[in-house]
């Protein structure tokens, strides 16, 4: 029996996708989110001690929200009721409340899990409030949307928000290897995966466990009699979906090169094209962000210092919200950086300074600039004759700051673009004093 026959036989029996078959049943089966589920973490202890408070899991698709809820349902001795906000309403909430009241009379707690809780309107959310407040229901919500915007403030004030991030590469690798070894279908095939294929699969997943497993299942379906998943097998699946992806080859590096050069060249439209290409191909978002953060300093610098601030802010936000919403933040950052005034003068300046150190060696710090704060410093005349700028008009006084052999040396020469033109004016003015 080949792979297709075996998978076909299994699908006829239960038609359960790989991602659902591999949902963890206990904490030891779960990969990722160590901050909240690692050793001695509060959430892990609450689950193990069956002492959960009302919480909302907030994070991107495939980060483990419903999987953690499933684990809780298996671990808890409380009655566990599951609703989906897309298909449920106030009537379902009332039924859950009646069930909880009955169970309380038997001395049992009730946990109500609501998937996609952001889909509930205000009236539906308000219906939960008195029962969460009284403790009749322990509410667990799951959402991909920011709960501070999508969930009523009154309800939010009674919940603990647990922000989950996209899974790390090592977590996705563990999930894939676990599926190959332990899944009821794949484990019978004796499959292995090359390191290159694994890297591509991890990158394509974008930190989404469900996406990784769905892609793996699709790849296995086209293997025929092969027992090893290779890079070409991943490429076949990717190409069939209209995406050209090459992790290590020219296309990967050509695209990021074209992207950065378009931003540096102040062409937001071309930059957006290459950004879109990388996003559709499942490029690592942190790879893109790292290059943009470098560009914000190297190619914009003091012409617009806010560029670096925004780049770092977007990096933090992207890792918080995940895809698909991260595309919005990356689009904003890309267009902002592309339309900023450009200057590489800070980049050139530090390179010149480093080159001098490497070629000319180290020079002694002038005595008046040396540390004079420790006992005995005065005996060495450290800090002697140092002029404190704030004691002078405009907080400036002429004095030498360079090592003696570098007096008069200039590294930083600001441009006339953006904010740097004001920096240039400032430097020119103090030179005249």
Low-confidence winner among 2-6, 52-56, 67-71, 172-176 (lowest mean pLDDT)? 2-6
196 CB-near residues (< 8 Å, 6+ apart): 230, 231, 247, 248
pLDDT value of position 376: 79
Angle at 162 (CA atoms; ends 319, 42), nearest 5 degrees: 120
Q: What is the band of 330 on the pLDDT scale with cuts at 50, 70, 90? A: very high
Q: What is the pLDDT of residues 404-427, one digit of tens each?
A: 889 989 999 999 999 999 999 998
CATH architecture of the domain formed by 169-240:
Orthogonal Bundle (1.10)
Spatial separation of the C-alpha atoms in residues 73 and 80, rounded to whole Å = 6
Upper half-sphere CA count for residue 33 (Cβ side, 13 Å): 29
CB 204 within 8 A of CB 238: yes
Q: State the average pLDDT over residues 323-338.
A: 95
Among 14, 127, 24, 8, CA closest to 73 = 24
Q: What is the pLDDT of residues 263-317, one digit of tens each?
A: 999 999 999 999 998 888 778 888 899 999 999 999 999 999 999 999 999 999 9
CB 170 within 8 A of CB 144: no
56 pLDDT higher than 80: yes
Spatial separation of the C-alpha atoms in residues 185 and 182, rounded to whole Å = 8
Upper half-sphere CA count for residue 357 (Cβ side, 13 Å): 9
CB 216 within 8 A of CB 201: yes
Among 337, 336, 354, CA closest to 346 = 354
13 pLDDT higher than 80: no
Q: Which two tokens stand for residue 204?
A: 């394509």
β-pairing verdict for 138-143 and 55-58: parallel
Q: What is the band of 4 on the pLDDT scale with cuts at 50, 70, 90? A: low
Q: What is the pLDDT of residues 164-177, one digit of tens each?
A: 988 999 999 999 99
Question: Full-prediction pTM beyond 0.75?
Answer: no
Burial of 314 (0-12, 13-18, 19+ CB in 10 A): buried
pLDDT value of position 248: 44
According to CATH, where is 3.40.50.300 located in the chain?
33-163
8 pLDDT higher than 90: no
Percentage of the chain lying above the pLDDT 70 cut:
93
Among 317, 326, 350, CA closest to 278 = 326
Spatial separation of the C-alpha atoms in residues 425 and 303, rounded to whole Å = 13
Low-confidence winner among 61-75, 180-194, 218-232, 336-350 (lowest mean pLDDT)? 218-232
Percentage of the chain lying above the pLDDT 90 cut:
58
According to CATH, where is 1.10.8.60 located in the chain?
169-240
Give the distance, in angstroms, between the CA of residue 411 and the centroid of all CA atoms in the same chain: 37
Query: Where does 347-432 sit in CATH, by number?
Result: 1.10.3710.10
According to CATH, where is 1.10.3710.10 located in the chain?
347-432
CB 264 within 8 A of CB 295: yes
1 pLDDT higher than 50: no
In the predicted model, what is the mean pLDDT of the chain?
88
250-338: CATH topology is Zinc Finger, Delta Prime; domain 3 (1.20.272)
Q: Which residue has the tokens 């050209």?
A: 244
Q: Which two tokens stand for residue 319?
A: 């890792």
Among 352, 357, 381, CA closest to 369 = 381
Instruction: List for the chain the helix, strand, coil content (%; round to 5).
Output: 60, 5, 35
CB 84 within 8 A of CB 116: yes
CB 182 within 8 A of CB 193: no
**Higher per-residue confidence, 431 vs 139:** 139
12 pLDDT higher than 70: no
Q: What is the band of 242 on the pLDDT scale with cuts at 50, 70, 90? A: very low
CATH class of 33-163: alpha beta
Q: State the average pLDDT over residues 385-400.
A: 90
Q: Which two tokens stand for residue 355?
A: 């080159």
Q: State the average pLDDT over residues 351-366.
A: 88
Spatial separation of the C-alpha atoms in residues 210 and 21, rounded to whole Å = 11
């Amino acid at each position: 029996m080949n792979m297709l026959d075996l998978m076909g036989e299994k699908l006829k029996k239960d038609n359960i996708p790989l991602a659902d078959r591999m949902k963890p049943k206990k904490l030891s089966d779960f990969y990722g989110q160590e901050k909240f589920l690692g050793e001695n973490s509060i959430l892990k202890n609450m689950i193990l001690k069956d002492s959960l408070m009302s919480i909302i899991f907030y994070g991107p698709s495939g980060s483990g929200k419903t999987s953690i809820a499933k684990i809780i349902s298996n671990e808890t001795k409380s009655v566990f009721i599951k609703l989906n906000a897309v298909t449920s309403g106030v009537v379902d909430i009332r039924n859950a409340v009646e069930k909880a009241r009955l169970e309380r009379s038997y001395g049992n707690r009730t946990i109500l899990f609501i998937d996609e809780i952001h889909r509930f309107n205000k009236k539906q959310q308000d219906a939960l409030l008195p029962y969460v407040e009284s403790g009749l229901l322990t509410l667990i919500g799951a959402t991909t949307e920011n709960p501070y915007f999508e969930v009523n403030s009154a309800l939010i004030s009674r919940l603990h928000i647990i922000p989950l991030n996209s899974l790390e590469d090592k977590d996705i690798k563990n999930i894939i290897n676990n599926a190959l070894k332990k899944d009821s279908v794949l484990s019978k095939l004796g499959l292995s995966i090359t390191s290159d294929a694994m890297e591509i699969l991890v990158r394509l997943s974008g930190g989404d466990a469900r996406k990784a497993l769905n892609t793996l299942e699709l790849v296995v379906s086209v293997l025929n009699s092969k027992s090893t998943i290779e890079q070409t097998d991943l490429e076949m699946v990717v190409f069939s979906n209209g995406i050209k992806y090459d992790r290590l080859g020219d296309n990967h590096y050509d695209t990021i090169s074209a992207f950065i050069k378009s931003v540096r060249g102040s062409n937001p439209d071309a930059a957006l094209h290459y950004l879109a290409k990388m996003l559709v191909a499942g490029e690592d978002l942190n790879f893109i962000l790292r290059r943009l953060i470098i560009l914000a300093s190297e190619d914009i610098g003091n012409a617009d210092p806010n560029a670096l601030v925004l780049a770092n802010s977007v990096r933090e936000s992207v890792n918080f919200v995940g895809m698909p919403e991260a595309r919005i933040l990356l689009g904003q950052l890309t267009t902002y950086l592309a339309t900023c005034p450009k200057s590489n003068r800070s980049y050139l300046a530090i390179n010149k300074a480093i080159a001098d150190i490497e070629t000319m060696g180290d020079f002694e710090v002038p005595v008046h600039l040396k540390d004079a704060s420790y006992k005995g410093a005065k005996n060495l005349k450290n800090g002697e004759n140092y002029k404190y700028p704030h004691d002078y008009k405009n907080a400036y006084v002429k004095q030498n700051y360079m090592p003696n052999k570098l007096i008069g040396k200039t590294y930083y020469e600001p441009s006339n673009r953006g904010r740097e033109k004001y920096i240039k004016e400032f430097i020119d003015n103090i030179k005249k004093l």
